[in-house]
Structure 1
C-alpha cells in the first residue's frame, strides 16, 4: 500500500466536498458519501443517518448562510489512512469567521477502489464556567 497515494486520494475527496459546499452544489456535497452515512452535527438532530437525512442538514445550513468561498473552510486537515479505512480531522471556519469555530472528524471506507465518507462529526467547543458549583 502506498500511504501517500491513499492520503492524496482522500484529500481530493475532502477538498472536492469542501468546494461543493462553498458553491452550494448539493450533488457535489452528497458525492463520495455512502448511502448509509452517519452524521453528528452541531445543530439538532442528535444524529442523521442516510443520504436523505444528510441532505436535510445541508439544506438547514444554507438557510443560515448563502454559498460563498468563506462559508465553509477547512484548516489543519490531517489524514490517517490504511488500506480500506481512514479518518481525517480538521478545524472549520464557517459563515465567514476569521478563526476556526468548529471541529470536524470524517470516517472513510474504500469501496470498489474509491473512498467514501461513511461518518461525519461536526462539533463546537463550549467554555465552562470558571467557578464550579459545589
Structure 2
C-alpha cells in the first residue's frame, strides 16, 4: 500500500462522507437498494440484531427489507463523533449512530449504537467491505446498556 498525500486523503474523506450521507438518506427513505448501493457483493455485516452476521450485499439488503416495517413512518438517522481514517485503498469510519423516531418513544430510538465501517476502493470507487454495529452491555447483568442521551 502506498502512502496517500494530504490532498488525496482529504478528497477520499469527502467522498466517504458523501457515501455516509447517501446511506443515511436511503435508510430514512426505507430504500434498501439505495442503502446497499455502495456495498461490495461479498460484504460482511456484524449486526446488533439477529442473525448477527450477514454475508453478501443481497443478504444485507434483505435484512433491511425485513426490519423496515418495524420502523415508524417518520424517523431520522443520525451519526455522532464519526472518525475517518484513510490510507491508500482502505478506509475505516467509526462513531455512533441512532434513530430519531416520531413518535419519540418508538423502540427504534432506544439507544445509540457503536458503528465501524471498513471500506475498500475498487476500480476507483469506495465500497463497504465490512460493517459492524453493536450496543454496549452491562457484563454484571448481561443486559443491554442503553445510551439514549449522549
Q: TM-score per shorter chain, which class?
A: 0.7 to 0.9
Answering whether residue 43 of structure 2 is matched by residue 37 of structure 1, we say yes
Answering whether residue 71 of structure 2 is matched by residue 77 of structure 1, we say no
- Contact 2:91/2:120 (CA < 8 Å) preserved in 1? yes
Q: How far does the alpha carbon of each residue in 1:9-35 deviate from its partner, in whole angstroms, 9 at most, with x for none?
A: 111111111111111112210111100
- Structure 1 residues 67 and 78: CA distance shift in structure 2, 3 A: farther
How far apart, CA to CA, are the structure 2 residues paired with 1:67 and 1:6? 34
Counterpart mapping for 1:1-134 below 5 A: 1=4, 2-66=8-72, 68-70=74-76, 72-94=77-99, 96=101, 97=109, 101-129=112-140
Structure with higher strand content = 2
Q: How far does the alpha carbon of each residue in 1:99-129 deviate from its partner, in whole angstroms, 9 at most, with x for none?
A: x521110000001111001111110011233
Q: CA deviation at 1:52?
A: 1.9
How far apart, CA to CA, are the structure 1 residues paired with 2:100 and 2:59? 22
- Structure 1 residues 7 and 67: CA distance shift in structure 2, 3 A: farther
Q: CA deviation at 1:53?
A: 1.2
Query: Aligned pair count?
Result: 128
Q: CA deviation at 1:94?
A: 2.1
Structure 2 regions of 5+ residues with no counterpart? Answer: 102-108, 142-150
Q: TM-score, normalised by structure 2?
A: 0.78
Q: TM-score, normalised by structure 1?
A: 0.86
How far apart, CA to CA, are the structure 2 residues paired with 1:26 and 1:57? 9
Alignment RMSD: 1.8
